[in-house]
Structures are given as C-alpha cells and as structure tokens.
Amino acid sequence: MAHNNNFFFSGLSTRPLELEKVPNVEESLIDTFGSIETLKVTMLDTASAMFGPGFVWLVWARDLNNPTSGQAGRHGAWRILSTYLAGTPYPEAGYRQQGLDTNTSNASEYKGYMNQQPANVAGSFGPFSASAQRQSKLPPGGTNIMPVLCVNTWEHVWLRDYGMNGKRKFLSDWWKCIDWSVVEGNTPAEAKGQNTWVRK
C-alpha cells in the first residue's frame, strides 16, 4: 500500500510537464489507444466505476512470447489495470516461488521435485529451453508488466475535498496534474519505440 501511494503521489505536480512535451510517450500511447482522449476517458471511466477502494494503473505489458511482433522496437502494449484495496500490479509479489507445496505432499514427491533435471536446454521451445530459462518466472496467469502511472480511488483521497458525489471531478482534476516527465521516466525504452539491445 505504501508503494502504491508513493507511486500515485510521485506522478503529480502543481506545475506538471504536459504530455505534448514528451512526444515519444505520446506517440506510443496513441498507437495503442488511438488518441490521448480515448486513454483519458478509458482510465477515468475505469477509476470512476471501481466499486470500493483501490488503484487504476497505466502499465506497459511486455510481450515475452513474441518479441518480434508489432512495430520495430516495440515488444508489448499499453494496458489499463485495476487493483483493489492494497493490491499490487506486480505479479511476483503474491506468488509462492516454489512449485510444490510441502504442506500437502509427501517426502518422496518433494525429493523427486528437487532432483528434477531438464531434458535439455538447447531447444527453442518449452519450459527448459534456453530462452525460457532466461525469462523471469511468473505466476500462473501473471504477465510481465511495468507500471508507469496510477490513480488512487480510496475515498479518503477525494471525499473531503470533493464531497460524496465528487469522485469524477477528482479524477478530472487528477488528469490535469499528471507530470508526464515522471511517466516518461517510468516508461521502459521499448514502449517509447527506442531500440533496445539485449546482451547475451
């Protein structure tokens, strides 16, 4: 929760840099959403529709399965993600990194699991391939994302200043205070359309 709040406040400014001054991020967002207005409406509608407290995130979802798809230099797409309460956008945060639950399996299963050897690491496909060994281990259903911006929808953030029916006004005012230079700093190079080189 502390990280989420820090992320929210760090993206705000009383004198924010406008998105037009960050053309590489603006173009990348337009490539995904069609227009900045569409991004704004989608993000604000998502936050407004949240029933209960949480955060709405603008994230760059990396495409690890097909890094050559799409535009040159782009390996992923922009997405809007909702997390409720103190939920996190990072898939690794709540996942047990061991593949076997020792509370529900016997000693021989555990011994077999620990002695498991990959068939080979030279292949191009599968969990034991050389490329799969280099990828981060994600939980089932997890995706490799990079958050760049978030809005806090907890009532204590907006209720005092905006009143019971003021959530939408708060969200509109939040959009005007986004410091796009901070968003640019959080944006990975591949999302900006910059060439990224991987050293092997």
For residues 47 and 49, what is the distance between their CA atoms, to the nearest angstrom? Answer: 5
pLDDT of residue 75: 74
Contact 192, 24 (CB under 8 A): yes
State residue 78 phi and psi, 5-degree precision.
-75, 145
pLDDT of residue 25: 94
pLDDT of residue 150: 97
Which is nearest to 5 in space by CA: 88, 82, 80? 88
pLDDT of residue 115: 66
Sequence-distant (≥ 6) Cβ neighbours of residue 18 within 8 angstroms: 180
pLDDT of residue 67: 46
Which is nearest to 91 in space by CA: 129, 21, 135, 144? 144
Token pair 């809005």: residue: 151
Sequence-distant (≥ 6) Cβ neighbours of residue 125 within 8 angstroms: none
pLDDT of residue 66: 52
pLDDT of residue 110: 62
Sequence-distant (≥ 6) Cβ neighbours of residue 108 within 8 angstroms: none
Domains observed in the chain: 2-97+143-192 (3.55.40.20)
pLDDT one digit per residue (tens) for the chain, 200 residues: 899 999 999 999 999 999 999 999 999 999 999 999 999 999 999 999 998 899 999 999 887 555 444 444 457 899 999 999 988 888 766 655 555 555 666 667 666 666 666 555 566 666 666 666 655 555 555 567 899 999 999 999 998 999 999 999 999 999 999 999 999 999 999 898 754 444 44
